[in-house]
């Protein structure tokens, strides 16, 4: 009878079953985050050669890292569609911010000092 009460209590609160991921998955995602962090540092060393593309590469790596954190560490991969849409809207606004920033970088005029 306690199992029946437990199930009805979950139905009343709207809880879904939680997805349990293996620990190896967390290690793989953490390893990918470390590799992407080292790539970011490596591309920063090449910023003089890459010019304005350095920011685009850094933003792209940051977006991939944010996706990995949200999908696996925040369990959005296994969550309801409404939560995915809300976080997806955040990515849309983040892309808008990146786009405006990149346009600002491309439209800057180099000013040479006369002194």
List the chain pLDDT tens, one digit each, 115 residues. 445 445 544 444 555 567 788 899 999 999 999 999 999 998 888 888 888 788 889 889 998 998 899 888 888 888 888 888 888 898 799 889 989 998 898 888 777 777 7
| 80 closest CA partner among 26, 15, 9 | 15
Structure tokens at 37: 């962090």
Torsion of CA 83, 94, 60, 80, to 10 degrees: 0
pTM over 0.75: no
Question: What local confidence, expressed as pLDDT, does residue 9 receive?
Answer: 45
């Amino acid at each position: 009878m306690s199992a029946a009460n437990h199930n009805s209590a979950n139905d009343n609160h709207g809880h879904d079953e939680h997805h349990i991921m293996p620990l190896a998955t967390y290690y793989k995602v953490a390893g990918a985050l470390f590799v992407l962090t080292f790539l970011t540092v490596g591309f920063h060393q090449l910023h003089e050669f890459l010019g304005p593309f350095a920011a685009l590469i850094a933003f792209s790596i940051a977006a991939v890292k944010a996706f990995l954190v949200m999908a696996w560490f925040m369990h959005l991969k296994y969550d309801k569609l409404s939560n995915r849409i809300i976080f997806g809207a955040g990515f849309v606004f983040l892309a808008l911010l990146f786009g405006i920033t990149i346009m600002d970088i491309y439209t800057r005029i180099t000013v040479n000092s006369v002194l």
